[in-house]
Amino acid sequence: MPEIEEMTTGNSEPEIFELSPENALFGKYELGRLLGCGAFAKVYHARNIRTGQSVAIKALSKQKILKGGLVPQIKREISIMHRLCHPHIVKLFEVLATKTKIFFVMEFIKGGELFAKVAKGRLNEDLNRRYFQQLIFAVGYCHSHGVFHRDLKPENVLIDESGDLKVTDFGLSAITEQIRDDGMLHTLCGTPAYVAPEILAKKGYDGAKVDIWSCGIILYVLNAGFLPFNDPNLMTMYKKIYRGVFRCPKWFSPELRRLLSRLLDTNPDTRITVNEILHDQWFKKGGFKEVKFHNDEDDFTKKEEQSCNSLNAFDLISFSSGFDLSGLFNSSDKLVNGERFVSAESPERIIEKVEEVGKREGISVRGKKVWMIEMEGQNGNFKVRMEVYRLTENLVVVEVKNGGDVRSGERLWSTKIRPELSSLVYQPETTQVSGDSVAT
Protein backbone atom coordinates (compact mmCIF):
# COMPACT_ATOMS: atom_id res chain seq x y z
CA MET A 1 0.00 0.00 0.00
CA PRO A 2 1.50 3.39 -0.95
CA GLU A 3 2.51 5.56 1.94
CA ILE A 4 1.05 9.02 2.38
CA GLU A 5 3.83 11.13 3.76
CA GLU A 6 3.21 13.19 6.88
CA MET A 7 5.62 16.11 6.57
CA THR A 8 4.50 18.45 9.35
CA THR A 9 8.00 19.54 10.15
CA GLY A 10 10.22 22.54 9.80
CA ASN A 11 13.35 23.76 11.51
CA SER A 12 12.19 27.34 11.56
CA GLU A 13 8.88 29.19 11.52
CA PRO A 14 7.95 29.54 7.82
CA GLU A 15 7.02 32.96 6.51
CA ILE A 16 3.29 33.59 6.35
CA PHE A 17 1.74 34.86 3.14
CA GLU A 18 -0.30 37.98 3.79
CA LEU A 19 -3.80 36.89 2.80
CA SER A 20 -7.07 38.58 3.63
CA PRO A 21 -9.78 36.46 5.33
CA GLU A 22 -11.76 36.60 2.07
CA ASN A 23 -8.96 34.85 0.16
CA ALA A 24 -7.80 32.51 2.89
CA LEU A 25 -8.54 28.81 2.80
CA PHE A 26 -12.17 28.45 3.89
CA GLY A 27 -11.91 32.04 5.10
CA LYS A 28 -10.09 30.64 8.13
CA TYR A 29 -6.44 29.74 7.37
CA GLU A 30 -3.68 31.86 5.89
CA LEU A 31 -1.44 29.52 3.95
CA GLY A 32 2.32 29.90 4.28
CA ARG A 33 5.33 28.13 2.86
CA LEU A 34 5.30 24.61 1.46
CA LEU A 35 6.88 22.33 4.07
CA GLY A 36 7.01 19.08 2.14
CA CYS A 37 5.67 17.20 -0.84
CA GLY A 38 4.87 13.52 -1.27
CA ALA A 39 3.25 11.33 -3.91
CA PHE A 40 -0.28 12.02 -2.66
CA ALA A 41 0.00 15.10 -0.47
CA LYS A 42 1.54 18.51 0.05
CA VAL A 43 2.01 19.97 3.52
CA TYR A 44 1.90 23.70 4.22
CA HIS A 45 2.47 25.86 7.23
CA ALA A 46 -0.62 27.97 7.94
CA ARG A 47 -2.08 30.31 10.53
CA ASN A 48 -5.57 30.38 11.98
CA ILE A 49 -6.76 33.92 11.24
CA ARG A 50 -8.96 34.13 14.31
CA THR A 51 -6.61 32.67 16.93
CA GLY A 52 -3.21 33.23 15.35
CA GLN A 53 -2.34 29.58 16.01
CA SER A 54 0.22 27.94 13.73
CA VAL A 55 -0.98 24.73 12.09
CA ALA A 56 0.22 22.29 9.45
CA ILE A 57 -2.21 21.65 6.62
CA LYS A 58 -1.85 18.50 4.55
CA ALA A 59 -3.59 18.81 1.19
CA LEU A 60 -4.50 15.56 -0.56
CA SER A 61 -5.73 15.20 -4.12
CA LYS A 62 -9.04 13.33 -4.27
CA GLN A 63 -8.27 12.21 -7.83
CA LYS A 64 -4.99 10.61 -6.77
CA ILE A 65 -6.64 9.03 -3.72
CA LEU A 66 -9.34 7.47 -5.88
CA LYS A 67 -6.90 6.29 -8.54
CA GLY A 68 -4.60 4.82 -5.92
CA GLY A 69 -7.47 2.99 -4.21
CA LEU A 70 -6.66 4.81 -0.97
CA VAL A 71 -10.16 5.87 0.09
CA PRO A 72 -10.40 3.22 2.89
CA GLN A 73 -6.92 4.14 4.10
CA ILE A 74 -7.70 7.87 4.24
CA LYS A 75 -10.99 7.28 6.06
CA ARG A 76 -9.24 5.00 8.53
CA GLU A 77 -6.45 7.51 9.14
CA ILE A 78 -8.98 10.25 9.85
CA SER A 79 -11.00 8.02 12.14
CA ILE A 80 -7.88 6.91 14.03
CA MET A 81 -6.48 10.42 14.50
CA HIS A 82 -9.86 11.61 15.71
CA ARG A 83 -9.98 9.05 18.51
CA LEU A 84 -6.45 9.79 19.77
CA CYS A 85 -5.77 12.66 22.16
CA HIS A 86 -2.38 12.41 23.88
CA PRO A 87 0.46 14.85 24.65
CA HIS A 88 2.91 12.73 22.64
CA ILE A 89 0.74 12.29 19.53
CA VAL A 90 0.28 14.96 16.85
CA LYS A 91 -3.26 16.34 17.04
CA LEU A 92 -5.69 16.43 14.14
CA PHE A 93 -7.79 19.56 14.59
CA GLU A 94 -10.21 19.22 11.70
CA VAL A 95 -10.71 17.95 8.16
CA LEU A 96 -11.94 20.22 5.40
CA ALA A 97 -12.80 19.41 1.81
CA THR A 98 -13.43 21.00 -1.58
CA LYS A 99 -14.50 19.28 -4.80
CA THR A 100 -10.94 18.22 -5.59
CA LYS A 101 -9.00 18.23 -2.33
CA ILE A 102 -9.10 17.08 1.28
CA PHE A 103 -7.28 19.11 3.93
CA PHE A 104 -5.96 17.73 7.21
CA VAL A 105 -5.49 20.60 9.67
CA MET A 106 -2.95 19.40 12.24
CA GLU A 107 -0.76 20.53 15.07
CA PHE A 108 2.37 22.25 13.77
CA ILE A 109 5.56 20.81 15.27
CA LYS A 110 8.39 23.29 14.89
CA GLY A 111 11.32 21.15 16.03
CA GLY A 112 11.39 18.75 13.10
CA GLU A 113 11.85 14.99 12.77
CA LEU A 114 13.72 12.84 15.24
CA PHE A 115 15.46 11.42 12.17
CA ALA A 116 17.16 14.78 11.53
CA LYS A 117 18.69 14.67 15.01
CA VAL A 118 19.86 11.08 14.67
CA ALA A 119 21.32 11.78 11.21
CA LYS A 120 23.85 14.08 12.86
CA GLY A 121 25.09 11.24 15.08
CA ARG A 122 24.05 9.18 18.06
CA LEU A 123 22.45 10.97 20.97
CA ASN A 124 23.14 11.00 24.70
CA GLU A 125 21.77 7.91 26.48
CA ASP A 126 19.88 9.94 29.07
CA LEU A 127 18.20 12.00 26.31
CA ASN A 128 17.43 8.80 24.42
CA ARG A 129 15.81 7.38 27.54
CA ARG A 130 13.54 10.43 27.75
CA TYR A 131 12.56 10.10 24.08
CA PHE A 132 11.97 6.37 24.46
CA GLN A 133 9.82 6.85 27.56
CA GLN A 134 7.61 9.31 25.71
CA LEU A 135 7.44 7.01 22.69
CA ILE A 136 6.29 4.10 24.85
CA PHE A 137 3.70 6.28 26.57
CA ALA A 138 2.29 7.23 23.15
CA VAL A 139 2.39 3.69 21.78
CA GLY A 140 0.84 2.25 24.94
CA TYR A 141 -1.94 4.82 24.73
CA CYS A 142 -2.61 3.87 21.09
CA HIS A 143 -2.77 0.17 21.94
CA SER A 144 -5.16 0.81 24.82
CA HIS A 145 -7.46 2.49 22.28
CA GLY A 146 -7.25 -0.35 19.78
CA VAL A 147 -4.85 1.44 17.42
CA PHE A 148 -1.63 -0.07 16.04
CA HIS A 149 0.70 2.33 14.22
CA ARG A 150 2.63 -0.25 12.13
CA ASP A 151 5.12 2.26 10.72
CA LEU A 152 7.05 3.60 13.68
CA LYS A 153 10.42 5.06 12.68
CA PRO A 154 12.42 8.25 13.42
CA GLU A 155 10.90 9.94 10.34
CA ASN A 156 7.43 9.55 11.90
CA VAL A 157 8.47 10.93 15.27
CA LEU A 158 8.67 14.70 15.70
CA ILE A 159 10.30 16.83 18.41
CA ASP A 160 8.56 20.03 19.50
CA GLU A 161 10.03 23.29 20.76
CA SER A 162 10.08 21.97 24.33
CA GLY A 163 12.08 18.92 23.31
CA ASP A 164 9.13 16.58 23.72
CA LEU A 165 8.35 13.75 21.33
CA LYS A 166 5.24 13.56 19.12
CA VAL A 167 4.23 10.50 17.09
CA THR A 168 2.73 11.24 13.69
CA ASP A 169 1.67 9.66 10.36
CA PHE A 170 -1.08 7.13 11.07
CA GLY A 171 -1.56 6.42 7.35
CA LEU A 172 -0.62 2.74 7.73
CA SER A 173 -2.23 2.22 11.12
CA ALA A 174 -4.66 -0.57 11.90
CA ILE A 175 -7.51 -0.86 14.39
CA THR A 176 -8.91 -3.83 16.28
CA GLU A 177 -11.83 -4.02 13.83
CA GLN A 178 -9.36 -5.19 11.16
CA ILE A 179 -8.25 -8.21 13.18
CA ARG A 180 -9.38 -11.46 11.56
CA ASP A 181 -11.00 -14.45 13.24
CA ASP A 182 -7.57 -15.89 14.03
CA GLY A 183 -6.87 -12.85 16.22
CA MET A 184 -4.21 -11.53 13.85
CA LEU A 185 -3.59 -8.75 11.35
CA HIS A 186 -2.45 -9.84 7.89
CA THR A 187 -1.69 -6.71 5.84
CA LEU A 188 1.95 -6.47 4.82
CA CYS A 189 3.15 -2.95 5.53
CA GLY A 190 5.82 -0.90 7.23
CA THR A 191 9.32 0.36 6.42
CA PRO A 192 11.79 -2.47 5.59
CA ALA A 193 14.48 -1.70 8.19
CA TYR A 194 11.88 -1.38 10.98
CA VAL A 195 9.54 -4.26 10.07
CA ALA A 196 9.11 -7.14 12.55
CA PRO A 197 10.14 -10.68 11.53
CA GLU A 198 6.61 -12.08 11.97
CA ILE A 199 5.36 -9.70 9.25
CA LEU A 200 7.93 -11.20 6.89
CA ALA A 201 6.65 -14.68 7.77
CA LYS A 202 3.24 -13.75 6.25
CA LYS A 203 1.32 -15.84 8.79
CA GLY A 204 -0.46 -13.04 10.61
CA TYR A 205 0.80 -10.88 13.43
CA ASP A 206 -0.16 -9.01 16.59
CA GLY A 207 -0.25 -5.25 15.89
CA ALA A 208 0.97 -4.37 19.38
CA LYS A 209 3.94 -6.75 19.12
CA VAL A 210 5.14 -5.32 15.79
CA ASP A 211 4.99 -1.79 17.22
CA ILE A 212 7.18 -2.90 20.13
CA TRP A 213 9.73 -4.35 17.68
CA SER A 214 9.83 -1.01 15.81
CA CYS A 215 10.31 0.82 19.11
CA GLY A 216 13.29 -1.46 19.73
CA ILE A 217 14.81 -0.52 16.36
CA ILE A 218 14.29 3.17 17.15
CA LEU A 219 15.95 2.79 20.56
CA TYR A 220 18.94 1.05 18.98
CA VAL A 221 19.29 3.74 16.30
CA LEU A 222 19.10 6.53 18.88
CA ASN A 223 21.95 5.05 20.90
CA ALA A 224 24.09 3.65 18.08
CA GLY A 225 23.54 6.12 15.26
CA PHE A 226 22.92 3.27 12.80
CA LEU A 227 20.51 0.37 12.21
CA PRO A 228 20.84 -3.03 13.93
CA PHE A 229 19.80 -4.87 10.74
CA ASN A 230 20.95 -3.33 7.48
CA ASP A 231 22.16 -4.35 4.05
CA PRO A 232 22.08 -2.84 0.54
CA ASN A 233 20.31 -5.99 -0.62
CA LEU A 234 16.75 -5.98 0.67
CA MET A 235 16.39 -9.76 0.83
CA THR A 236 19.68 -10.07 2.74
CA MET A 237 18.44 -7.47 5.22
CA TYR A 238 15.17 -9.38 5.65
CA LYS A 239 17.15 -12.55 6.41
CA LYS A 240 19.07 -10.66 9.10
CA ILE A 241 15.81 -9.40 10.61
CA TYR A 242 14.28 -12.86 10.51
CA ARG A 243 17.29 -14.35 12.33
CA GLY A 244 17.34 -11.43 14.77
CA VAL A 245 21.12 -11.48 15.27
CA PHE A 246 22.57 -8.03 16.00
CA ARG A 247 25.54 -6.55 17.84
CA CYS A 248 25.51 -3.77 20.38
CA PRO A 249 28.29 -1.14 20.26
CA LYS A 250 30.70 -1.18 23.21
CA TRP A 251 29.27 2.04 24.65
CA PHE A 252 25.86 0.44 25.31
CA SER A 253 25.25 -0.08 29.02
CA PRO A 254 24.43 -3.63 30.24
CA GLU A 255 20.90 -2.53 31.17
CA LEU A 256 20.31 -1.10 27.69
CA ARG A 257 21.61 -4.31 26.07
CA ARG A 258 19.21 -6.42 28.13
CA LEU A 259 16.23 -4.24 27.21
CA LEU A 260 17.13 -4.33 23.51
CA SER A 261 17.44 -8.11 23.57
CA ARG A 262 13.83 -8.30 24.80
CA LEU A 263 12.54 -5.62 22.43
CA LEU A 264 14.16 -7.30 19.42
CA ASP A 265 13.11 -10.81 20.37
CA THR A 266 12.15 -12.57 17.12
CA ASN A 267 9.51 -14.57 18.98
CA PRO A 268 6.50 -12.25 19.45
CA ASP A 269 5.14 -14.50 22.22
CA THR A 270 8.14 -13.82 24.46
CA ARG A 271 8.84 -10.26 23.28
CA ILE A 272 8.58 -7.69 26.05
CA THR A 273 5.22 -5.93 26.52
CA VAL A 274 4.50 -2.27 27.22
CA ASN A 275 3.69 -3.05 30.85
CA GLU A 276 6.98 -4.91 31.27
CA ILE A 277 8.89 -2.03 29.66
CA LEU A 278 7.48 0.33 32.29
CA HIS A 279 9.12 -1.79 34.99
CA ASP A 280 12.43 -2.27 33.18
CA GLN A 281 15.56 -1.14 35.08
CA TRP A 282 17.01 0.94 32.24
CA PHE A 283 13.64 2.49 31.40
CA LYS A 284 12.97 3.58 34.99
CA LYS A 285 16.47 4.95 35.64
CA GLY A 286 16.43 8.59 36.71
CA GLY A 287 12.67 8.50 37.27
CA PHE A 288 9.93 9.50 34.87
CA LYS A 289 6.48 11.00 34.89
CA GLU A 290 4.14 8.35 33.55
CA VAL A 291 1.40 9.46 31.18
CA LYS A 292 -1.76 7.38 31.59
CA PHE A 293 -2.72 5.02 28.77
CA HIS A 294 -6.32 4.51 29.85
CA ASN A 295 -8.50 7.58 30.01
CA ASP A 296 -10.92 6.50 32.72
CA GLU A 297 -10.13 9.52 34.85
CA ASP A 298 -8.09 11.88 32.70
CA ASP A 299 -9.18 15.04 30.91
CA PHE A 300 -9.62 13.24 27.61
CA THR A 301 -12.59 11.28 28.96
CA LYS A 302 -14.21 14.51 30.08
CA LYS A 303 -13.64 16.03 26.66
CA GLU A 304 -15.15 12.96 25.01
CA GLU A 305 -18.20 13.16 27.26
CA GLN A 306 -18.60 16.85 26.56
CA SER A 307 -18.24 16.33 22.81
CA CYS A 308 -20.13 13.07 22.47
CA ASN A 309 -22.31 14.83 19.90
CA SER A 310 -19.32 16.08 17.91
CA LEU A 311 -19.30 14.71 14.39
CA ASN A 312 -15.91 13.23 13.59
CA ALA A 313 -14.10 13.83 10.33
CA PHE A 314 -14.81 10.30 9.13
CA ASP A 315 -18.53 11.08 9.28
CA LEU A 316 -17.94 14.38 7.50
CA ILE A 317 -16.53 12.56 4.49
CA SER A 318 -19.02 9.69 4.69
CA PHE A 319 -21.93 12.10 4.54
CA SER A 320 -20.66 13.71 1.33
CA SER A 321 -21.11 11.66 -1.80
CA GLY A 322 -17.77 11.19 -3.54
CA PHE A 323 -16.17 13.46 -0.96
CA ASP A 324 -18.17 16.36 -2.43
CA LEU A 325 -19.53 18.50 0.38
CA SER A 326 -22.33 19.74 -1.82
CA GLY A 327 -23.99 16.39 -1.07
CA LEU A 328 -24.30 17.06 2.64
CA PHE A 329 -27.92 18.09 2.33
CA ASN A 330 -30.21 15.36 1.09
CA SER A 331 -33.12 16.95 -0.80
CA SER A 332 -35.09 13.70 -0.89
CA ASP A 333 -38.26 13.59 1.17
CA LYS A 334 -37.92 9.90 1.92
CA LEU A 335 -37.32 9.04 5.53
CA VAL A 336 -36.87 5.29 5.09
CA ASN A 337 -33.08 5.41 5.44
CA GLY A 338 -32.91 8.71 7.24
CA GLU A 339 -32.21 12.27 6.20
CA ARG A 340 -29.58 14.80 7.16
CA PHE A 341 -29.21 18.53 6.74
CA VAL A 342 -26.64 21.10 7.75
CA SER A 343 -27.60 24.12 9.86
CA ALA A 344 -25.82 27.20 11.15
CA GLU A 345 -28.32 27.48 14.00
CA SER A 346 -27.39 26.43 17.53
CA PRO A 347 -28.49 22.96 18.69
CA GLU A 348 -30.65 24.63 21.33
CA ARG A 349 -32.42 26.75 18.71
CA ILE A 350 -33.02 23.69 16.50
CA ILE A 351 -34.54 21.74 19.38
CA GLU A 352 -36.67 24.74 20.29
CA LYS A 353 -37.94 25.05 16.70
CA VAL A 354 -38.83 21.35 16.54
CA GLU A 355 -40.76 21.65 19.79
CA GLU A 356 -42.70 24.62 18.38
CA VAL A 357 -43.62 22.70 15.22
CA GLY A 358 -44.58 19.60 17.19
CA LYS A 359 -46.88 21.59 19.46
CA ARG A 360 -48.68 23.13 16.46
CA GLU A 361 -49.16 19.72 14.81
CA GLY A 362 -50.27 17.97 18.00
CA ILE A 363 -47.16 15.80 18.14
CA SER A 364 -45.48 14.97 21.41
CA VAL A 365 -41.80 15.92 21.61
CA ARG A 366 -39.57 14.57 24.31
CA GLY A 367 -35.83 14.65 24.88
CA LYS A 368 -33.87 11.47 25.53
CA LYS A 369 -30.39 12.94 25.88
CA VAL A 370 -28.44 16.07 25.06
CA TRP A 371 -29.20 17.24 21.52
CA MET A 372 -31.52 14.33 20.73
CA ILE A 373 -35.33 14.34 20.75
CA GLU A 374 -38.12 11.99 19.68
CA MET A 375 -41.39 13.03 18.03
CA GLU A 376 -44.48 10.82 18.21
CA GLY A 377 -48.08 11.21 16.98
CA GLN A 378 -50.97 9.71 14.99
CA ASN A 379 -51.59 7.04 17.63
CA GLY A 380 -48.00 5.89 17.46
CA ASN A 381 -47.84 5.60 13.65
CA PHE A 382 -45.57 8.64 13.40
CA LYS A 383 -42.23 8.20 15.21
CA VAL A 384 -39.20 10.26 14.34
CA ARG A 385 -35.89 10.60 16.14
CA MET A 386 -33.86 13.71 15.53
CA GLU A 387 -30.25 14.10 16.65
CA VAL A 388 -27.92 17.09 16.33
CA TYR A 389 -24.15 16.68 15.85
CA ARG A 390 -21.49 19.36 15.95
CA LEU A 391 -19.85 19.51 12.50
CA THR A 392 -17.58 22.56 12.81
CA GLU A 393 -17.37 25.49 15.18
CA ASN A 394 -20.25 27.18 13.37
CA LEU A 395 -22.17 24.33 11.75
CA VAL A 396 -24.16 21.31 12.92
CA VAL A 397 -25.67 18.31 11.16
CA VAL A 398 -29.25 17.32 11.96
CA GLU A 399 -29.98 13.63 11.41
CA VAL A 400 -33.60 12.47 11.15
CA LYS A 401 -34.70 8.82 11.29
CA ASN A 402 -38.18 7.36 10.95
CA GLY A 403 -39.16 4.67 13.45
CA GLY A 404 -42.88 4.38 12.76
CA ASP A 405 -45.20 3.62 9.84
CA VAL A 406 -43.27 4.61 6.72
CA ARG A 407 -46.21 6.01 4.73
CA SER A 408 -47.77 7.93 7.59
CA GLY A 409 -44.45 9.25 8.74
CA GLU A 410 -43.37 10.30 5.26
CA ARG A 411 -46.63 12.15 4.57
CA LEU A 412 -46.63 14.10 7.83
CA TRP A 413 -42.91 14.82 7.56
CA SER A 414 -42.91 16.04 3.95
CA THR A 415 -46.13 18.10 4.06
CA LYS A 416 -46.13 19.54 7.58
CA ILE A 417 -42.89 19.31 9.51
CA ARG A 418 -40.14 19.51 6.91
CA PRO A 419 -41.36 22.81 5.36
CA GLU A 420 -41.42 24.36 8.84
CA LEU A 421 -37.80 23.39 9.40
CA SER A 422 -36.52 24.54 6.00
CA SER A 423 -35.50 27.90 7.46
CA LEU A 424 -32.92 26.09 9.59
CA VAL A 425 -31.07 24.65 6.58
CA TYR A 426 -27.68 26.19 5.97
CA GLN A 427 -27.33 27.85 2.55
CA PRO A 428 -23.59 28.27 1.94
CA GLU A 429 -22.15 31.10 -0.04
CA THR A 430 -19.57 30.12 -2.63
CA THR A 431 -16.00 31.36 -2.88
CA GLN A 432 -13.00 30.26 -4.91
CA VAL A 433 -9.98 28.64 -3.31
CA SER A 434 -7.25 27.49 -5.70
CA GLY A 435 -9.84 26.90 -8.41
CA ASP A 436 -12.13 24.89 -6.14
CA SER A 437 -15.64 25.93 -5.20
CA VAL A 438 -15.96 25.69 -1.45
CA ALA A 439 -18.45 26.54 1.28
CA THR A 440 -17.50 29.44 3.54
Q: How far apart are CA 224 and CA 246, in angstroms?
A: 12
Pair 182, 204: CB distance under 8 Å: yes
What is the rounded distance in angstroms from the CA atom of residue 287 to the CA atom of residue 307? Answer: 35
Per-residue burial over 331-367, b if 16 or more Cβ lie within 10 Å, else e, is eeeebeeebbbbbebebeebbebbbebbeebebebee
Angle subtended at Cα 117 by Cα 112 and Cα 118, rounded to the nearest 5 degrees: 135
CB 378 within 8 A of CB 357: no
Largest Cα separation within the chain, whole Å, is 83
* CA separation for the pair 385, 404 (Å, rounded): 10
Distance CA 187, CA 203 (A): 10
Cα–Cα distance measured from residue 392 to residue 385, given in angstroms and rounded to the nearest whole number: 22
Distance CA 309, CA 397 (A): 10
User: 123, 222 in Cβ contact below 8 A?
Assistant: yes
What size, in residues, is the chain? 440
Supply φ then ψ for residue 9, to 5 degrees: -120, 170
- CA atoms of 377 and 359, how far apart (whole Å): 11
Is 151 a known active-site residue? Answer: yes
Active-site residue (options: 151, 206, 265, 315): 151
Residue whose C-alpha is closest to residue 176's, from 147, 208, 134, 209: 147
For every residue of 24-71, which 3-state class applies, written as one string?
CECCCEEEEEEEEECCCEEEEEEEECCCCCEEEEEEEEHHHHHHCCCH
Question: Contact, 8 vs 16, CB < 8 A?
Answer: no
Catalytic (active-site) positions: 151
